[in-house]
Amino acid sequence: MTTEQAQLTEIRNQIDSIDQQIQDLIGKRAECAQKVADIKTQGGNVNAVFYRPEREAQVLRAVKERNTSLLPDVEMAKLFREIMSACLALEQPVSVAFLGPEGSYSHASVVKQFGSSAHSVAVSTIEDVFSAVDKGDANYGIVPVENSSEGVVKSTQNELIKTNLKISGEVSLAIHHCLMSKSTAHENIKKVVAHQQALGQCETWLKNNLPWAEIEAVDSNALAAKMAQEDESLAAIASEQAAQLYQLIILDSNIEDFKDNTTKFWVIGKEDTQPSGEDKTALIISIHNKAGALLDILESFSKRDINMTRIVSRPSTDKTWDYLFFIDVLGHKDDENVKEALEEVESKAAFYKLLGSFPVSPL
């Protein structure tokens, strides 16, 4: 045996020993998770809540803070995300509704937020995501809220106005679109199909590279990939994962017009989320028709040093030339200063709806 072979053998033996220790510790963590489940279900409690987004956020933040390894903080957190997902599945498998079918960006956001052990429930529309959670067909749902280049997702806005569900988490996902087809040649493509948001995110690229192709919006990018699988004259815009899942040829990658293209998703559920230490609160308001009304409301936050991270307006469907404002602020609704501000805003607003408080995502 050469010196190099001997060195490699010694290091591999160390790796094997470390792997055994890691496996033993994961097993002990799983036992603790099972004990948590036993405590929560004592006395036949069928309404026990197993998924606690604030607790998971705290654990993942701690993982990143104490990380001194060669692995980047986010990569270390991703590893723990999967361990936590598997352990949670021992307590109670969590079902999550998303805009399907599999291979959509919504599906990718489920895996990022809940890990691979969550049970994904594919539905046909964003409205169906809300309905599945409301009816109890899924514990939680994930819906797209806003894209960095195309703006808000109106279907999600519409449902947020009507729903009694609460926001319990936030996921940001980098979006990189691929053009895919059964055909190997661009000139054979007669039509490009994708979700309306994806078509908008790739509008300039499509005009420059496929000016002859008809453009058609469908319910999801994954559905587009499924359609392209059945018709060689179609090309779909979807993720690399979708191309693999539906056995399509990727003709072009990263065709989005803006390379920092990102979509924000919200987790919706029935339970309130407790403070995690780093939180956001989301609400919807409309204002009275008088001078300075919006400024008066925003001062409720500014005078308490509450940072507003997002404000988006849209026309109200109830009254002509009336507007609704979707507002996100830093802090939890139970924080004393945020609680005071929200009470003040509610007293000043013509319409007020609190959507919920949720952890700032560690991922």
SS (H, E, C) the chain: CCHHHHHHHHHHHHHHHHHHHHHHHHHHHHHHHHHHHHHHCHHHCCCCCCCCHHHHHHHHHHHHHHCCCCCCHHHHHHHHHHHHHHHHHHHCCCEEEEECCCCCHHHHHHHHHHCCCCEEEEECCHHHHHHHHHHCCCCEEEEEEEECCCEECHHHHHHHHHCCCEEEEEEEEECCCEEEECCCCHHHCCEEEEEHHHHHHCHHHHHHHCCCCEEEEECCHHHHHHHHHHCCCEEEEECHHHHHHCCCEEEEECCCCCCCCEEEEEEEECCCCCCCCCEEEEEEEECCCCCCHHHHHHHHHHCCCCCEEEEEEEECCCCCCCEEEEEEEECCCCCHHHHHHHHHHHHHCCEEEEEEEEECCCC
- 281 an active-site residue? no
Other CB atoms within a 10 A radius of the CB of residue 174 amount to 13
- 301 an active-site residue? no
156, 263, 273, 281: the active-site residue: 263
Q: How many CA atoms lie within 13 A of 31 on its CB side?
A: 6
Q: 192 and 214 in contact (C-beta within 8 Å)?
A: yes
98, 114, 130, 265: the active-site residue: 265
Query: What residues are labeled active site?
Result: 263, 265
